[in-house]
Chains A and B, each alone.
Chain A
């Protein structure tokens, strides 16, 4: 039994390990010219500053090592940080590079074989930096089977399916769509990371608040919504539309 109950009045377990998978952009380098890399990174980031702001990034030096081009890992890390990105891993580094990375508290990932045909690599050399495509459709679905009670909050990184009621005073949020097969009396926020195509599906809409990508309606605005009917909520030109599902 822990003895520091004074510090933790509720004595909840101090930590828990869970596995999770994330999609993280990977930066594949084809040059060791740090100045050039910095310049290119800034250009990329400027295209979508909000998206890239503080984004985690794994850099891949496999191609450089194939061409025996050495790169100063600590300087590279500084360049990446200056661009507003947070380097969270190295891939394809050799032993000294990995050693430097670990000293900088940057985890080392094992290199997958990346098949790049010579012509591709030739083309990409001109572009210099090719971040891997970022998956924008998250396919994970969170499933909840017990009622979500007043005061509880649920956050789903993808879609959220609730097979029970959501009580008044509860809050459910999803980056994707929300499905509630029960009475929805609390707050439901879909597309919380800005996905305007997210929708809310619900078998009994009595919500305190519904929101899609920040556009919301409160229950006062929904007085004429008939409860106990299947409806969907979607966004059309910044307006929330609530429609029956026949």
Chain B
């Protein structure tokens, strides 16, 4: 069974595309055939993060309008053969997407035995974000530990619960997972940032993982390699954990407490 995952947040700049690229690569590295779709038509970024911007010929809008086949538009990742990228169009806007067209693409991907389809949602709650989440089975809600991001995530959760295909057809609701990104335990300690507990209290959502604020994210983005491939970085390891947890492995939470210097990377469980 194909599982459609939307990576969403409401607010912009919280790490949706970084997360989409990382988890898609994570699933593929675990041996699952995975596709990652950029829904941010007009502000295409996923191709840069995935390092395939030089190989984009056709995009999702071309497929929807029948100007290219899905096979022509899918770009095979250079790091992992199980991973395919469907880029967004840079010259169009979100209205070029249609629910019918997106539904057909997802069906076709399912027919091609893709195990996971990761939908990288644009910011906002308008058409692009709506179509990214509409067909989803699972939602990764990416949130930064600050009030505006938390509120926007809450709004997005409301939309997931009421406007998705699963909600409209009275099916089992979308499974929602919380990903707290750009987390800095030091700043939480001095009261500059909401803690994991604060965010969970407001959103009451299952925490899939915490990704620490890390220089490696920017480095990875600029070099076009998903941060999950940087095994030495804390953010990369956090994404490895998240993928494992989502796939059912029992991994204690890390990066929630401050690391004690001098000790060899002391990791804490959350509970």
List A residues at the B interface (Cβ < 8 Å): 1-3, 5, 9-13, 146-152, 164-165, 167-170, 182-183, 185
Which residues B132-188 have CB closer than 8 A to chain A? 151, 154-155, 157-159, 161-163, 168, 173
Cα distance A170–B127 in the bound complex, in angstroms: 22
Q: List 15 A-B contacts (CB under 8 A).
A: A1-B100, A5-B99, A9-B127, A10-B99, A10-B127, A11-B98, A12-B163, A146-B173, A148-B158, A149-B157, A150-B151, A150-B154, A150-B155, A152-B158, A183-B201
Q: Given the complex, which residues of A lie within 8 Å of B250, measured CB to CB?
A: none
Q: Given the complex, which residues of A lie within 8 Å of B157, measured CB to CB?
A: 147, 149
Cα distance A10–B158 in the bound complex, in angstroms: 16
**Interface contact A147-B163, CB-CB below 8 Å:** no
Are A11 and B99 also in contact (CB < 8 A) when A146-B173, A165-B204, A168-B151 are? yes
Cα distance A148–B162 in the bound complex, in angstroms: 10
**Interface contact B127-A151, CB-CB below 8 Å:** no
Q: Please name the 5 residue pairs, one residue from A and one from B, whose CB atoms are nearest each other, closest first.
A: A149-B158, A11-B99, A150-B154, A150-B155, A152-B158
Chain B binding surface, main DSSP class:
helix
Cα distance A198–B154 in the bound complex, in angstroms: 29
Q: Given the complex, which residues of B lie within 8 Å of A3, measured CB to CB?
A: 100
List B residues at the A interface (Cβ < 8 Å): 95, 98-100, 103, 127, 130, 151, 154-155, 157-159, 161-163, 168, 173, 201-204
Known contacts A12-B163, A183-B201; can you find 19 more A-B pairs with CB under 8 A? A1-B100, A1-B103, A2-B100, A5-B98, A5-B99, A10-B99, A12-B168, A13-B168, A147-B157, A149-B158, A149-B161, A150-B151, A150-B158, A151-B155, A164-B204, A168-B154, A168-B202, A169-B151, A185-B202
Q: Given the complex, which residues of A lie within 8 Å of B168, measured CB to CB?
A: 12-13
**Interface contact B163-A149, CB-CB below 8 Å:** no
**Interface contact A10-B163, CB-CB below 8 Å:** yes
Cα distance A2–B203 in the bound complex, in angstroms: 36
A1 smallest CB distance to B (angstroms):
5
**Interface contact A10-B100, CB-CB below 8 Å:** no
Contact of B95 among A9, A13, A151, A164 (CB under 8 A): A9
**Interface contact A146-B161, CB-CB below 8 Å:** yes
**Interface contact A149-B155, CB-CB below 8 Å:** yes
Chain B residue with Cβ nearest A152: B158
B172 smallest CB distance to A (angstroms):
12
Are A11 and B155 also in contact (CB < 8 A) when A149-B161, A164-B204 are? no
